[in-house]
Structure 1
């Protein structure tokens, strides 16, 4: 009898411990990764891949919370309204962070003042490609064609105020040719019209042109990344074709709210470094068409300041005006 009572007591103690452990686990909320775009897009996909690796490698519980709308402003507001406890993290491309306040009146924030970057999750470059309208196979032949056909020389982008828009105006300056901007509402229609011969030049992301590599439908003149894309080893970089000013990448950053304790900020930086350096994460990004930075920037503030200066000059060059 005493033995039975002892066993029951032990079971009750164990059950109590398990219940207590579960209560602690359930009472600790997961980290929220805020994404300002719908599910399935590039930012959402990267955030989910990062969350998956965080769970697998570090046992961290994370959920992706999509807050689409207002070109990312709703997500930015969500971070600014959250507690500064490191439990809410914004995942956003720097082109939106840097360009937003320059091209959208509602984006009244300062990226360096209002966000604390803790890591770079992935990056990609842009691509300049031609379709059948010009049949140019390299940048020199397109330049010659554009000089001979100034009224027909135009470039398609996903829209006004996008990085592609401003890269196009800079390309015009560097080549000293006429380039008429034809903005679309998204990238799909722009690609269709370039393939159909209505528009001679396309400025898009590297991921888009990779899908057409080797088909003979698009001719990628160059990419803006620092290094050649291993999926398109024959395509030169901007620097290799003498267009150093066009070298540019967009990187997806993780940001916390200002005021977050230094210890938590440093912990986040260490966690990001560990996750993005893993082979499983790098492989996941490559399958999605993205590169992982070889090393995290030592001074994110300096990096963001430098990039903002570059984009500011590109916006000025385009004579873009904010619309109220």
Structure 2
């Protein structure tokens, strides 16, 4: 008989207790190891979620979309518990940012701030687009809305709507208006206005709002239809005159400017908007996080004040409101575009 068997034979109970104890230690060690692995995995996941989130912007740094993205991003970082990076992807009226969004992870780490034209106009004014608005753009929230205005500059120097109508009827061949791009809502608002006053006003395309302002103040064009956020600074400085705005009510930034509706042109009523979109497949809970964070940011007095100064009205009502607003915009502009005879470019 071996020494081990002798010890077992002399005190089998003690041997069993020691064996059970060793087994318990082994199980306890294994349990601790599994917990450590689980904690490590959780930490890695948390670190991934807490990494920087991106707001894609399809326009250059320094513009209004860039400014809004940075303003909102600075506020939502605390609510989302992660840094926010504004990623400018300028080009093609915001469509390059959509291409980037389509390739981005659908985990709440990337959203895009884009104009309403991405969903409501481009499908009808462009021959080819690389995305399907309904499939590739998941609504998060409407950030802000804005009015369009008709403005005059140095030639002719007109300050009242009635005088502009009289001038346009007397000079129908000169009654053109600058737009930042063909196929834009600016162009179609102008066509609606011209139709209402009985003058076939012709759009003149420019590469953005900045050169339009220079041409307007220099007398090279008589008028423009542009967003109020682009007109506000020169209007307040007295360099241009804004004769009417497209909103239902007068805008708070310039309550002295009448609406087209007041002037008897209800067909020229409507607002543009910009909104946050997520990649298709992003979980609803991640969309809700962004939506709630943006709503809280837009409710802060300093954010509201800044947006109003820029010519925008803050919204922030969530994905359902944005989807409904988007559908309404399509319903409004599709027949206008088709009736205008506009040929997709």
What TM-score, normalized to structure 1? Answer: 0.84
Going from structure 1 to structure 2, the CA distance change for 1:36 and 1:216 (only over 3 Å counts) comes to closer
Equivalent residue in structure 2 for 1:312, among 334, 338, 343? 334
Match of 1:185 among 187, 201, 207: 207
Q: Which runs of 5+ in 1 are unaligned?
A: 1-16
- Residue 48 of structure 1 deviates from its aligned partner by 1.0
Aligned to 1:221: 243
Cα root mean square deviation, aligned: 2.6
- 1:145 Cα offset (Å): 1.7
Note closer, same or farther for the CA distance 1:216–1:24 as it changes in structure 2 (3 Å cut): closer
Contact 2:253 2:308 (C-alpha < 8 Å) held by counterparts: no
Give distance in 1, aligned partners of 2:111 and 2:339.
34
1:174 to 174, 193, 196: 196
2:117 matches 1:95: yes
Instruction: Pick closer, same or farther for the CA change 1:24–1:188 going to 2, 3 Å.
Output: closer
CA contact (8 A) 2:141 2:317 kept: no
Contact 2:253 2:309 in 1 (8 A): no
State whether structure 2 residue 56 is matched by structure 1 residue 34: yes
Distance 1:172 1:299, change over 3 A: same
Query: Which of the pair is proportionally richer in helix?
Result: 2
Pairing of 1:65-214 with structure 2 (within 5 A): 65-213=87-235
Task: Report the alpha carbon displacement of residue 46 of structure 1 after superposing the two structures with TM.
Answer: 0.9
State whether structure 2 residue 250 is matched by structure 1 residue 250: no
In structure 2, C-alpha distance between the alignment counterparts of 1:212 and 1:284, rounded to whole Å: 17
Three-state SS of the structure 1 residue aligned to 2:167 is helix
| Contact 1:101/1:108 (8 A) holds in 2 | no
Q: 1:286 is paired with a residue of what secondary structure?
A: helix
Q: Report the Cα offset of residue 21 of structure 1.
A: 7.6
5+ long unaligned stretches in structure 2: 1-38
Q: What number of residue pairs does the alignment pair up?
A: 305
Tell me how far 1:222 sits from its aligned partner. 0.5
Question: Which of the two has higher C-alpha Rg?
Answer: 2
Misfit runs of 4+, over 6 Å: 20-23
Range with greater deviation from structure 2 (292-301 or 167-176): 292-301
1:272 matched to which residue of 2? 294
Give the whole-Å Cα distance in 2 for the aligned partners of 1:222 and 1:86. 40
